[in-house]
Amino acid sequence: MAFRSGMLLARSLNIPVSPSCGGVVMSRHHSALVTAALAMIVVVAMTAHVVWRDRQTTIAQMEALAVDMAKVVESHVLHTTKGADIALHQAAAVVDAAGSLEAVRSHPYWYRLRDALANVDGGETLWLFDVKGDAVVGAGRQQDRPINIADRPYFQAVMAGADLVISPALRSRLDNRIIFIIARPIRDWTGEIIGVASTGMRTEWLVNFYALMSFGLETTVTVFRTDGEIVARNPDLASQIGKNNRNGPLFQEQLPRSPTGVYWARSMLDGKERLAAYRLIPDLNLVVYTGIDSGSVFAAWQSRSLWFVAEVALTTILVLFLLLWGAGMIRREHLVQKRALEAEGAARQLDADLHQARRDTLTGLPARGLFLEIAEGLRRSAKKKGAILAFLYIDLDGFKGVNDRHGHEQGDKVLRTVAEIMRRTTRDGDLLGRLGGDEFVICLSGHAPDVRAVATGVAARIIKEVRDLDLGVGCSIGIGLTAEDCDDLACALHLADAAMYRAKKAGKGAWSIHEPAQEPCLSCNSEMVA
């Protein structure tokens, strides 16, 4: 039976066979088929192992990214709520000094209330309400008509004795904007509650900046209360107001097991499956959640795997062809090994090429991921020399109008021109990058007095050259300096970002500097709060 099978196989391949040599031909082809089958098994096993190992590495990297994002957002939430709570205590002190809620309306006390609000990062309003929920006096956005919040759950919670209450996201009764409230009671000298102090906070202040850390992935950043209500979310907060996640896997399965963690689950809010990290903030009854869409998690891995499998499959077909039609077993075996090694090398090269493709194609500048890696190396080098880094956070003013009026082609030309201005106005060793959209960043290194002067000089020249070119845009620049005792680049970037927003508020087309002494850095502040 085996002999007949071998003969039939030989005839199907158009190989002449005589009765006397049929057994030899069959034996040779049988050996070739066995060798080919074994080679296929080996190649498939190797391919599966490489693809699986790459998948595990990808998951580990994405988990680390989600955890890091959650830690940064947690630190920011702690910093923001602490600043708001300090302002609420100051408001209570103003009431105590004035003698009554109504007396705060007089200018000396109202100015103190306004100053307290000015120190709240992300704060929109600071209001004082009496025990009936009627607004008595406020700073920030004003409203002519009477305001009453007696029906608001956060007001009721404070009146019931809660010391500090953070509300879910809600629509403001001043202008219908989406905000969340931080409130605490105002007590007289006997301890009796005589009113409520509350500050309206911008929800985007908590989460929007940290969505930029997603490195091109589809991410979600959400701050929940421990009862499942949403305080802030990016993206798509407006459609989620009023929804509750208490019955979702985060609250039903994960938090009961551990205050921090990483898990896979499908969101009950939007139905998307995500790799998520979370951190409980028990002192505030808040939970920070950062999620990466499952499609984003595996997109790069799937692309690498498809290319790798395609190359291995092609190589395998060629090897099989050579095994069946080659001149001899030794030559065919060598070709299999050669092709397998070439495929493995090509796959590694492809993997390396995919990881290296991280420059902005429009301007040629490093994109966010590559910029941060190089900046980290500059930070370590500067620390050894006793130097510091300065980050210039550059945002174009009026860029959207250029796109709207003249089209994206003109907008791209503006971005390339601004990138060239940055190259002309910086030193050879300085690092430039494009964060995305119309946002750029520059990293300068030097000793404290010198680098500050260089940074402000570079900022002034860039602003002037962009304005003088009459491109239809201007730029606002924020400068942040690294602290000598802090190793976290995010701190200086945060200071630069905050300084840039101050420059915009001051009228745009200007620069502003924010040094570590003006505000504790994120890492240090996190340790202070803890």
Residue 182 belongs to a domain: no
Domain termination site, one of 297, 326, 347? 297
pLDDT for 304 beyond 90: no
Q: What is each CA distance from 302 to 262, 272, 294, 305, in whole angstroms?
A: 22, 19, 12, 5
Domain boundary among 297, 328, 353: 297
Residue 312 lies in a domain: no
Which CATH number characterizes residue 404's domain?
3.30.70.270
- What pLDDT shows up at residue 489? 87
- Residue 452 located in a structural domain: yes
Residue 278 lies in a domain: yes
34 pLDDT above the threshold of 80: no
pLDDT tens-digit series, residues 123-132: 888 889 999 9
pLDDT digits (tens, 9 = 90+) for 452-501: 999 999 999 999 999 988 888 999 999 999 877 777 888 889 999 999 99
Report pLDDT digits (tens) over 324-342.
776 667 778 778 787 777 7
Instruction: Give the domain extent around 232.
Output: 206-297
CA angle 202, 79, 519 (to 5 degrees): 105
Between the CA of residue 211 and those of 88, 188, 206, 243, what are the distances in Å?
29, 43, 10, 21
Tell me if 421 is assigned to some domain. Answer: yes
Main-chain dihedrals φ then ψ at residue 233, nearest 5 degrees: -160, 145
Tell me whether residue 506 is in a domain: yes
Given the residues 395, 438, 488, 497, select the one marked as catalytic: 438
3-state DSSP assignment of residue 224: strand
> Does 438 qualify as catalytic in the annotation?
yes
pLDDT tens column, 158-173: 999 899 999 998 888 8
Question: SS3 for 94?
Answer: helix
Q: Say whether both 504 and 383 belong to one domain.
A: yes
Instruction: Give yes or no: residues 284 and 372 share one domain.
Output: no
Q: What is the CATH number of the domain that holds 242?
A: 3.30.450.20
Q: Is residue 74 part of a domain?
A: no
H/E/C letters for each residue in 459-518?
HHHHHHHHHHCCCCCEEEEEEEECCCCCCCHHHHHHHHHHHHHHHHHCCCCCEEEECHHH
| End residue of a domain, out of 260, 278, 297 | 297
Token pair of 207, please? 């989460």
Torsion region of 398: left, alpha or beta (phi above 0 gives left; psi -120 to 50 gives alpha): left
On whether both 279 and 390 belong to a single domain, the answer is no
Q: What is the mean pLDDT of the chain?
A: 83
Number of domains composing the chain: 2
Would you state the pLDDT for residue 186? Answer: 94
